[in-house]
Structure 1
């Protein structure tokens, strides 16, 4: 930070928070791709691979619900660093010899990783509310879009890194390399992240973890179906389909997912421009409804093409790239709306509750991704995705009449 003496203290802390979030996301994306591809290589069925992530998503739900309360009591800087430390422990658990790498052991490691990811994300998203001046909604949207978009672009790099490292180094050495890098980031975070992003003055009671705001409850319900719609084909079904049915190599699968998520992140960062927010028109609840409907239509068309076996490979790849672009705008709008709707004094609790719903959607999508793909195939996963997106759009209609 001494290299940027003219920056405000708020902007310096924003850069530290963002850098912390970037590093964590890179390791999280790489680890997910490593686990999916490595255990598929070991002969695990799609359902078993999905089960490896079950605790990751379950504890994500719990962490978001409780993590917001912890952030308000302990300080967001503390919860962010705790998240990094837990991820280091999770990576360490995956360094055991292959014979000890049982399903139960990996599920526990993934549970810790899920706790770490959501502590880190909740802390980063909540911190922005405290660093942006009050009533600066266009600035808030811009900062949230940059943080979220750049994070997801790096998650895409992480997917590519996971596939590449598995091919180049093998599972054990790939995990070791990530562990060393994250330890360096953790030490830097301890030194640079200050108490500017600190605990609430009034310590909230644990009974206050459930949101009482109609707008936040409605947005949370829409978020659940939005992310369930993505993960029902994204987590297990598509990587296994590309490898098993289309015969793609691991590095090819990693490259596709990297390109998808990097493009997704770049579009998120540009969302204020795409939606016209840079001209002063910040998003509303009706914006979330419109963009969810657009995404539902796109997914329905992809589903029809896969069911009819009409140029399946090209339409699937091209269509899901378009899905990623429109999904990115949906996600960016949601990320802004939750921070905007939240009260400054309880921002971590409101954001934590919202991302609890996000984690619940991921959990539902992850389980369905393994079960539905194994029983009925990829087309059925895409059909469920279409239905979920229609529900998200219908739920979002209630946002127009809710308080902001």
Structure 2
């Protein structure tokens, strides 16, 4: 096994372990605080620091990774998540809103340090001439992460029922501490240090293609979270009458399936293992996604049973969204410069975090005031903006750049 493969496996293992706790914690907070009587908007506000600090972390984290190396930023992220879980393990009387928001802020910093480090690290482990391999490795990392996030959703709901909120965060904190200690020993290769030390102003991308792709990413993930983060779990519990096991289990299965599709995205977007996707493919898949939330909203106003409209539509949304996400993840890693890769990737995922922030806040407020249908219509509007944005990308094209066969050398 080559050193590059060993480092890839360690990075992936760290990312997987972190993702389990991240998914479980999100489900724990949503269900536990709804159980305590918090409104959907109040629950959304608990995540505001998680998303705000995610935006800041991606921007500053790229600069930090270029200075100290991606192995260190990944280990810092793991440690911060352990601290965040420890903060939530205090007695219930101490779990005030400011305290929970503070813990969520640390978790947001930890999550995006971890993600930025993992995605940037892959760029440096794959030779620049092997774009097909890069696409597959990025798709595998992204898809497996989301599959495990789905497992985390189920784990969060199950642990809440079995050991309660405090017991759940203690178990996760201890397990992640073991992972962190192992990573300190095993993740030894220096990755991502820039040979020319970047200036602080270099955090903001000056590359038009990366800026355009970042704008599309912001609205893509805003479109998902505007109905998935708060509105959907509350809707399933209050309208369909599902208990926490069912809500957590269903959302877990959805995210796991979504992650599985992400790993297979190269098969959906091209027939030739050497081909990699370009702008037109990204536009086609974004356009396909745009109409799905609107179709679900329309279905809720017909004679079609609501469970078929929501669940069936969500499954279709997950499939098409997964391909879009993998396409975007590959394009940013491919476009990023090799020297100081974390700066470009960090800026891009800053936009991703901004989209999640907007989506999370709108999910709580729009659902509380207008209901699920309004969240779905807003999702389609966001996706239309994402489609128009990605259409502005200037990438090398081949004559047969289509949904079936593409060619792009980043």
Q: Is TM more than 0.5 here?
A: yes
Q: Which runs of 4+ in 1 moved over 6 A?
A: none
Deviation of residue 370 (structure 1)? 0.3
> SS at 1:43's partner residue?
coil
Q: Distance between the aligned counterparts of 1:285 and 1:255, measured in 2?
A: 36
- CA–CA distance in structure 2, aligned partners of residues 58 and 402 of structure 1: 35
**How far apart in 1 are the matches of 2:190 and 2:278?**
30
Structure 1 segment 4-403 matched on structure 2, within 5 A: 7-276=1-270, 278-308=272-302, 310-400=304-394
The 2-side partners of 1:226 and 1:215 are apart by 16
Pick closer, same or farther for the CA change 1:59–1:186 going to 2, 3 Å. same
| Matched-pair contact (CA < 8 Å) for 1:138–1:277 | no
Q: What is the alpha-carbon distance in structure 1 between the residues aligned to residue 192 and residue 361 of structure 2? A: 36
Give the Cα separation in 2 of the matches to 1:137 and 1:401.
Answer: 14
Measure the CA separation in 2 of the matches of 1:131 and 1:309.
53
Contact 2:24–2:152, Cα closer than 8 Å, also in 1: yes
Separation (CA, whole Å) in 2 of partners of 1:258 and 1:278: 32
- How many residue pairs get aligned? The number is 398
CA contact (8 A) 2:70 2:190 kept: no
| More moved, 196-205 vs 388-397 | 196-205
Q: Deviations over 1:69-97 (max 9, x none)?
A: 00000100000000000001100000111
Shift of 1:276: 1.3
Shift in Å at residue 43 of structure 1?
Answer: 0.4
Contact 1:286 1:400 in 2 (8 A): no
Using structure 1 for the length normalisation, give the TM-score. 0.97
Secondary structure (helix, strand or coil) at the match of 1:186 reads helix
Q: Is the 8 A contact 2:120 2:192 kept in 1?
A: no
1:277 deviates by 5.7
CA contact under 8 A between 1:75 and 1:195: conserved in structure 2? no
CA distance in 2, matches of 1:371, 1:164: 27
Cα pair 2:205 2:211 within 8 Å, conserved: yes
Point out the more displaced range, 387-396 or 269-278: 269-278
1:399 aligns to what SS in structure 2?
coil
d(CA) in 2 for partners of 1:88, 1:273: 37
CA contact (8 A) 2:69 2:190 kept: no
Question: Does the residue aligned with 1:279 lie in a helix, a strand or coil?
Answer: coil
* Secondary structure at 2:277 match in 1: coil
- Distance apart, 1:321 and its partner CA: 1.0
d(CA) in 2 for partners of 1:51 and 1:206? 30
- 1:366 CA drift (Å): 0.2
Partners of 2:29 and 2:20 lie apart in 1 by 14
State the shift of 1:375 in Å: 0.1
Please list the CA deviations of residues 44-65 of structure 1 after superposition, one character each: whole Å capped at 9, or x if unmatched: 0000000000000000000000
- Does the 8 A contact of 1:272 with 1:278 survive in 2? no
Matched-pair contact (CA < 8 Å) for 1:277–1:283? no
Residue 3 of structure 1 corresponds to: none
CA contact (8 A) 1:286 1:399 kept: no
TM-score normalized by the length of structure 2: 0.95
Unaligned regions of 5+ residues in structure 2, if any?
398-409
| Residues 83-140 of structure 1: CA deviation (Å, up to 9, x unaligned) | 0000011000001111111111100100000000000000000000100012110000
How far is the alpha carbon of 1:314 from its aligned partner? 1.3
Q: Distance in 1 between matches of 2:4 and 2:273?
A: 24
User: Is the contact made by 1:126 and 1:348 (CA closer than 8 Å) also made in structure 2?
Assistant: yes
